[in-house]
Amino acid sequence: MTEIEKINNLRAEMLKEGIDLYIIPMRNNLLNNDLKPHENRIKYISKFSGSAGQIFITLQKASIFVDGRYELQVKLEVNSKIFEINEMGMQSYIKWIETNLPENCTVGYDPKLFSISEIETYIKRFENHHIKLKSISDNLIDKIWSKIPSQKQVIISDHKIEYSGIKRAEKLNKLIDKFIKSQDEALFVGDNNFISSFTNLRAYRNEYTPAVPAFCVITANNCHLFLENCRINKNDVTKIATDIRIHDLKDFKRDIANILKNVKIVKLDKKDTTIFVQETLKKLNIKVLHQNDINHSKAVKNSIELESFKKAHELDAIAICNFLYWIKKQENLNNLDELKIVKSIEFFRKEQQPHYLGPSFPAIVGFNENGAIIHYNATKKTNKKLSGDGLLLIDSGGQYKYGTTDVTRTILVGKANEEMRRLYTLVLKAHIALARVSFNKKTTGAELDNVARSVIKKYGYDYNHGTGHGVGSVLSVHDGILSISPKEKKANFQENMVFSNEPGIYLEGLFGIRIENLMVLNKDTKIKNNLCFEILSHIPFERELFDLNILNETEVNWINKYHAKVYEKLSSKLKLDQRTWLKNATLPV
């Protein structure tokens, strides 16, 4: 079916339901946007393959909303004659609905795909316009999707204490002590990364993110896990059963009634809990209390997790340095293209098996103009050869038994011109500014973002994404309760949180530049009560792109110290030829 045929079929279903607009979000029943093929309803109806977005379909119009990372990509993938393209965000959604729908209309949605807090926001904003919301239990896209891709069963394994650092029972007892004050209270957790963290469970074979697909209900006496299309690794069944009762998510309505038969209050976080769960609890006459700090502890790594993180980054640095040596030694880069680079990166990471589990996200490999597409994924259709002079942006990461990695380097292919050197060095200056910052706990994510962004804006450039995101421990590469972004107005950054540092400059139709390391927050030993960053990623920068005219002495010293540490950490673990290459790549500037 064409997009028009699919939309017309959807509109027929909308008429049956008596709705004027249907909202299609980029998420699954567990509120994740790390989607399996059968969950990617936006891609099915629009061909958009990004990882964030939302679609509105009315009886006359269609609109897709994306964030700045996908500003160029959406124009390439989505038919603009069918879909309006708009900026993602609640303000944009409300404005579009108020502009395009009359009063007294009805907006339909799937209650399994929306959080309580999101729907409450819509209800509040729609009050003055007399717009009603209708919860529709059967997903309307699934009704028209004739060949929904099959699902693979997920295998759940115990995440060993040597990686997790704290026993499962101890983590569960801490949660019970903190949130459950009596036998008639229970805790609902919908954040899969947090569930995986406190249960010490992982879906190691999951593509990209080993988080356990589940809901969790904790009572005063037991922990109940509702798994979606999973089975427990046979070697771990007995061990896991000691602390956790396992259920099938399909049986949630039935089993939850029995589990909560003596419970009067369930505490939950509205932003991580679906309307479906709220509706289920309401039918059981159970009071819901919003608890916004349930998952705050997941962002703070314990000492064992941090040591494991460092091991993962060391293995990853070895793999990426071996890759960089290989590509720099190629006599004819014209034989290479973006898809071959993706395969080559995976080849060098696989050399780190059995510690290496797989990529932590689809690798972003873009040459010249494709590098300007912030979250570009090469396809057979867009695949570009490395011919002529230019810049190759590579953003990739790995899942290891020890931790999760994410690193970006922009590599010179052929010869550099003055503009390439200048802009690369501006991005490096911004990166260094954030890496060197010392700040107190009252500092917000927006203020940290500005430390890097202001460097680039001073020269008349900007970038359409945040500067940093939290990273999970053998979990989602985009995790955590805080970000380093213009939109992050919260503070409370703490020691042992891990963040990325990834400013960039993108020139549409020419090239993109991004430099990214992961960093962990430590106490600043020089300034009392302050925090500072320790770098976890140890991979050399592209020295042929340095413009020494715009680097100051402090920045040059920082680069030299960083490169000295890279060589110190990796040289003994590389073969002779690679070690010689690394020595030259990390020579003092």
Q: Tokens in use for 490?
A: 């919260």
- In the prediction, which pLDDT does 130 show? 86
Q: What is the pLDDT of residues 350-392, one digit of tens each?
A: 999 999 999 999 999 999 999 999 999 999 999 999 999 999 9
Across the range 275-296, mean pLDDT stands at 95
| CB proximity list for 223: less than 8 A, separation 6 or greater | 172, 199, 216, 217, 243, 244, 245
Choose among 352, 250, 262, 364: nearest CA to 311: 352
Q: What's the pLDDT at 66?
A: 95
Query: What is the average pLDDT value for the chain, to the nearest integer?
Result: 96
Span 217-260, pLDDT tens digits? 999 999 999 999 999 999 999 999 999 999 999 999 999 999 99
Percentage of the residues of the chain whose pLDDT score is greater than 90: 91
Mean pLDDT computed over 482-510: 96
What count of residues does the chain have? 589
Distance CA 364, CA 81 (A): 28
pLDDT in tens, 396-422: 999 999 999 999 999 999 999 999 999
Residue 579 belongs to what H/E stretch?
A: helix 576-585
| pLDDT number for residue 303 | 96
**What pLDDT score was predicted for residue 259?**
97
Tell me what the mean pLDDT of segment 322-345 comes to. Answer: 94
pLDDT for the residue 122: 93
- Rounded CA gap, 431 and 409, in Å? 12
Per-residue pLDDT of 424-440, as tens digits, reads 999 999 999 999 999 99
The sign of the dihedral angle between the CA atoms of 285, 109, 13, 147 is: negative
What is the per-residue pLDDT across 144-202, written as a single tens digit (0 to 9) for each? Answer: 998 888 888 999 999 999 999 999 999 999 999 999 999 999 999 999 999 999 999 99
Region 9-35 average pLDDT: 95
**Has residue 480 got a pLDDT over 80?**
no
Q: In angstroms, rounded to a whole number, what is the distance separating the alpha carbons of residues 30 and 105?
A: 28
Cis peptide bond N-terminal to 111, omega within 30: no
What pLDDT, on a 0 to 100 scale, did the predictor assign at position 128? 79
Specify burial of residue 214 (Cβ count, 10 A radius: 0-12, 13-18, 19+): buried
The residue among 197, 441, 436 whose CA lies nearest residue 301 is 197
**How far apart, in whole angstroms, are the C-alpha atoms of residue 441 and residue 160?**
32
What pLDDT is attached to residue 521? 98
Q: Which domains does the chain have, with CATH numbers?
A: 3-144 (3.40.350.10), 154-298 (3.40.350.10), 300-581 (3.90.230.10)
CA 380 to chain centre: 25
Q: Which residue matches tokens 């290496």? A: 356
User: How much is the pLDDT for 282?
Assistant: 96
Q: Tell me what the mean pLDDT of segment 540-551 comes to.
A: 97
> Which amino acid belongs to residue 503?
P
- Tens-place pLDDT, residues 89-142: 988 999 999 899 988 899 999 999 999 999 999 999 888 788 999 999 999 999
pLDDT at residue 334 greater than cutoff 90: no
Q: What is the pLDDT of residue 328?
A: 95
Instruction: Indicate the residue type of 497.
Output: M
